[in-house]
């Protein structure tokens, strides 16, 4: 529908079908766009010359997407056709690709057919750090990661920068839970998110605890029962409990 009044904005008739496109003069277009009643309508600038183009978006690794045609400038009679070979090629990298626009059943004269654009966006990829548990005094395990939603049968070889795994727990850390953090990965064609894991450090069920030699208070005894004033690395008795002393 064309509205040629370039002096004032018309009131919005709420009974108008929402799929209707309204072409209005450039002078009053801002007024229509600012009216919340008109915001639900498709209101564009009227130039007198019809231009037909198209656009589409799909995710890397997929072949499904909907091509939408767009009419600008002035209305047309009929329906345009589109072609896009790139839509069906899952291995194409992230970027933009042409969409061919044809007249189809359009009978309006003077129509400009403008090449459309297919935009391929990064695929979501989730990297998860596995959770682990160990005893106090043990070294951390070798942390591993899992990956969800690689496309095109790809693997972690796609990383330009591999993910980094960090955990604050050390061999001397007391019992508790420590976050296993993963970050820093870079891969073409993927938008990466992360799920951190947890390292649970538990006391040894045998009752043996660990401590640094500077943290041990007297009296401390070696395994033969002799009192030791400056315990070095090894196993000692303190308060009827075994203690592993680490330098």
- In this predicted model, what pLDDT tens digit does every residue of 109-152 receive, in sequence order? 999 999 999 999 999 999 999 999 999 888 999 999 999 999 99
* Residue 98 to residue 95: CA distance in whole angstroms: 10
pLDDT (0 to 100) of residue 237: 75
The residue with greater pLDDT, 24 or 133, is 133
The residue with greater pLDDT, 9 or 116, is 116
Helix, strand and coil content of the chain, in percent to the nearest 5, comes to 5, 45, 50
pLDDT (0 to 100) of residue 205: 67
Q: What is the mean pLDDT of residues 9-20?
A: 68
pLDDT (0 to 100) of residue 22: 86
Is the Cβ–Cβ distance between 73 and 46 less than 8 Å?
Answer: yes
pLDDT (0 to 100) of residue 1: 72
pLDDT classification of 36: cutoffs 50, 70, 90:
confident
Residue 211 has pLDDT above 70, yes or no: no
Is the Cβ–Cβ distance between 67 and 84 less than 8 Å?
Answer: yes
- Per residue in 160-205, pLDDT (tens digit) is 999 999 999 998 899 999 999 999 999 999 999 999 999 999 987 6
The residue with greater pLDDT, 51 or 27, is 51
Q: What is the mean pLDDT of residues 224-242?
A: 74
The least confident of 92-101, 150-159, 223-232 is 223-232
- Whether residue 219 is preceded by a cis peptide bond, meaning omega within 30 degrees of 0, is yes
The least confident of 27-31, 74-78, 228-232, 237-241 is 237-241
pLDDT (0 to 100) of residue 189: 98
Q: What is the mean pLDDT of residues 6-17?
A: 69
For residue 82, give every residue at least 6 positions away whose Cβ sits within 8 Å of its Cβ, in sequence order, or none. 54, 67, 69, 99, 100, 101, 102, 116
Max Cα-Cα span within the chain? 106
Residue 212 has pLDDT above 60, yes or no: no
Instruction: Report pTM.
Output: 0.73
Is the Cβ–Cβ distance between 77 and 50 less than 8 Å?
Answer: no
For residue 216, give every residue at least 6 positions away whose Cβ sits within 8 Å of its Cβ, in sequence order, or none. 231, 236, 238, 243, 245
Residue 15 CA neighbour count, 13 Å, CB half: 0
Is the Cβ–Cβ distance between 1 and 75 less than 8 Å?
Answer: yes
Query: 138-167: string of b/e by CB count within 10 Å (b at 16+)?
Result: eebeebebebeebbeebeeebbeeebebeb
- Per residue in 67-102, pLDDT (tens digit) is 999 999 999 999 999 999 999 999 999 999 999 999
pLDDT classification of 46: cutoffs 50, 70, 90:
confident
pLDDT (0 to 100) of residue 99: 98
């Amino acid at each position: 529908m064309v509205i040629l009044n370039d002096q004032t904005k018309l009131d919005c008739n709420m009974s108008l079908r929402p799929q209707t496109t309204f072409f209005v003069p450039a002078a009053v277009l801002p007024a229509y766009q600012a009216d919340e009643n008109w915001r639900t309508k498709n209101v564009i600038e009227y130039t007198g010359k019809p231009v037909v183009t198209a656009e589409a978006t799909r995710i890397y690794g997929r072949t499904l997407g909907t091509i939408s045609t767009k009419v600008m400038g002035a209305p047309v009679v009929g329906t345009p056709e589109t072609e896009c070979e790139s839509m069906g090629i899952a291995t194409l990298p992230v970027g933009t690709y042409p969409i061919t626009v044809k007249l189809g059943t359009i009978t309006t004269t003077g129509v400009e057919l403008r090449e459309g654009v297919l935009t391929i966006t990064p695929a979501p990829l989730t990297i998860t750090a596995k959770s682990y548990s160990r005893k106090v005094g043990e070294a951390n395990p070798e942390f591993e990661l899992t990956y969800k939603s690689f496309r095109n049968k790809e693997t972690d070889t796609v990383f330009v920068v591999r993910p980094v795994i960090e955990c604050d727990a050390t061999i001397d850390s007391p019992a508790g839970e420590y976050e296993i953090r993963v970050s820093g990965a870079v891969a073409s064609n993927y938008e990466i998110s992360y799920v951190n894991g947890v390292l649970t450090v538990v006391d040894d069920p045998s009752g043996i605890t660990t401590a640094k030699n500077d943290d041990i208070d007297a009296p401390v005894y070696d395994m033969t029962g002799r009192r030791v004033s400056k315990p070095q690395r090894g196993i000692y008795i303190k308060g009827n409990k075994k203690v592993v002393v680490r330098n």
